[in-house]
Amino acid sequence: MVPGTTKSRITAGAVALIGVASLLYWSWPSGQAANPDIGATAARAAPSDAAAAARHDPDSVDLTDAQLTAVKVEPVEAREFPVDKEAVGSIDFNEDLAVQVFTPYPGRIIGLFAEIGDDVKKGQKLFIIDSPDLLQAESTLIAAAGVLDFTTRNLARNRDLYATRAVSQHDLEQAVSDQQTAEGNLRAARDAVRLFGKSDADIDRIVKQRMADPTLVVPSPIDGRITARNAAPGLYVQPANPPAPFTVANIDTMWMLANVAETDSPAFRVGQQVQVRIGAFPGRVFDGTVTTIGSTVDPNTRRVLVRSIIKDPQHELRAGMFANFTISVGAPVRSPAIPGAGVVREGDGTMTVWVTADRRRFTRRTVKIGQERNGYRQIVEGVKVGELVATDGALFLSNTLATESP
């Protein structure tokens, strides 16, 4: 074989192979690989990658059948929430129904019969004093009674003498005048003693026994509770000379005093109904009414005094108790709402809920919450009525997400 001829044949064969390969390449449909199996594999891989990306959403979690048993899903409801204002206050005695008990006459205290916190009835004895004025009034009473007895006997004697013409008409008329004057003086003396609180029976006993009793009893003027006591045995007391020996307050109603923010004060009105909750009585609500709104703003705290009268028929409240009160200041607002267990407070303070469309995949969503009422949270922003959310197990979902996060 001639070497040149062999080389020419090899070259021609190579050119032919390249041409066939080019023809096959350009005749294959555009955008597909030479191997149809490779194209199919690529097509299947695309949605798989999308699912993987979804699974790695930092705010979503997929639950297994076993995990779903720990989660309860319900649609978001529409509920009415009142437009309320809240504040913190304290309970105090109703000073409009409180009475300072003074002695009506000066004297020295010789007996005490009540302590702070005691409940007393109207007319119940609080303290007694040794009163010089009472002693003088009773002495006058005894003297007036003696004069009346004398003038009565003298009138009878003069009438008998006048019948026998032993005395003149003038003497008889003088005896009648003296007896009438004595009667008037006795009535005045009895009235004077009665002003000290003595009954007619007491006065009759004083007159009969001819013995003055200088002890003056000072009773409670109203039903109520002793809120202050400044009395002590041996203390000399005078009318209207403060401090009063006792202070008695009617406790059927109490005051609640609160200092509300200056910015909230325009929403308050006299006559608004108040719901008061006391820490000492969990779950209880006491009803009241706003009676006074302060006319000035405290320059240091920028707050306004709001005073309410609280009904306390069982006399359970005590002065100084802390209280939270709520006042409705507008018509109720209808808003989306979910049970309180469906809202999670995150570490940064934001509030979140877990939303789902298929009851298996849950996505965390930040929301803005409002009031809480009857176990439901008002959702101001973030979800709509009808959306499915986790109402039980929301915290479990947050923990699951935290576990799965890299």
pTM score, whole prediction: 0.57
From first CA to last CA, the distance across the chain in angstroms is 73
Query: And the tokens for 99?
Result: 């009475």
Residues 344, 337: contact at Cβ < 8 Å? no
Query: Any idea which fold 60-79+333-404 has?
Result: 2.40.420
The segment(s) of the chain belonging to CATH 2.40.30.170 are: 86-95+250-331
Torsion of CA 183, 185, 189, 194, to 10 degrees: 60
Domain spanning 86-95+250-331: CATH 2.40.30.170: yes
Identify each DSSP E strand in 131-231 by its residue range: 215-219, 224-229
Question: How far apart, in whole angstroms, are the C-alpha atoms of residue 318 and residue 314?
Answer: 11
> In which residue ranges of the chain is CATH 2.40.420.20 found?
60-79+333-404
- What's the sign of the alpha-carbon dihedral 327, 328, 329, 335? positive
CB 371 within 8 A of CB 81: yes
pLDDT at site 264:
86
Outline which parts of the chain fall under CATH 2.40.50.100: 102-130+214-249
Q: Where does CATH 1.10.287.470 sit in the chain? A: 132-211
How far is residue 98's CA from residue 170's CA, in Å, rounded to a whole number? 60
**What ranges make up the beta strands (E) of 139-233?**
215-219, 224-229
Res 344: pLDDT: 92
| The amino acid at 83 | V
Rounded Cα distance, 84 and 82, in Å: 6
Q: Which residue has the tokens 């009525």?
A: 385
CA distance 346 to 61: 16
Q: Are 162 and 172 in contact (CB under 8 A)?
A: yes
pLDDT for res 102: 95
Q: What CATH number does the domain located at 102-130+214-249 have?
A: 2.40.50.100
Lookup: tokens for 214: 């200088």
- Cβ neighbors of 258 (< 8 A, separation 6 or more) are 87, 88, 89, 90, 305, 306, 307, 308, 323, 325
Whole-number pLDDT of residue 346: 87
> Residue 32: its pLDDT value, please?
44
What pLDDT sits at residue 127?
Answer: 95
Homologous superfamily assigned to 132-211: Helix hairpin bin (1.10.287.470)
In 94-152, DSSP assigns E strands to: 98-101, 107-112, 119-120, 125-130
The amino acid present at 13, given as its one-letter code, is: G
Phi first, then psi: give them for residue 346, nearest 5 degrees: -80, 170
Q: Virtual CA dihedral for 202, 206, 209, 213, nearest 10 degrees?
A: 100
Give the Cα separation of 107 and 28 in Å (integer).
Answer: 127
**Cα–Cα distance, 4 to 1 (Å, whole number):** 9
Tens place of pLDDT for every residue, the chain, 406 residues?
444 444 444 444 444 444 444 444 444 444 444 444 444 444 444 444 444 444 556 788 888 888 888 899 999 999 988 877 888 899 999 999 999 999 988 999 999 999 999 999 999 999 999 999 989 999 999 999 999 999 999 999 999 888 888 888 898 899 999 999 999 999 999 999 988 888 899 999 999 999 888 888 899 999 999 999 999 999 999 998 999 999 999 999 999 999 998 988 888 889 988 889 998 898 899 999 999 999 999 999 999 999 999 999 899 999 999 998 888 777 788 999 999 999 999 888 899 999 999 988 999 999 999 888 888 999 999 999 999 999 988 888 888 877 765 5
Kindly list the distances between the CA atom of residue 8 and the CA atoms of 11, 15, 166, in Å, as whole numbers in the listed order.
5, 11, 199
For position 373, what pLDDT does the model report? Answer: 82
Contact assessment for residue 134 and residue 203, using Cβ atoms and an 8 Å cutoff: no
Q: Coil, strand, or helix at residue 108?
A: strand
Query: What 8-state DSSP symbol labels residue 223?
Result: S
Nearest CA-CA partner of 287 in 253, 322, 258: 253
Whole-number pLDDT of residue 267:
86
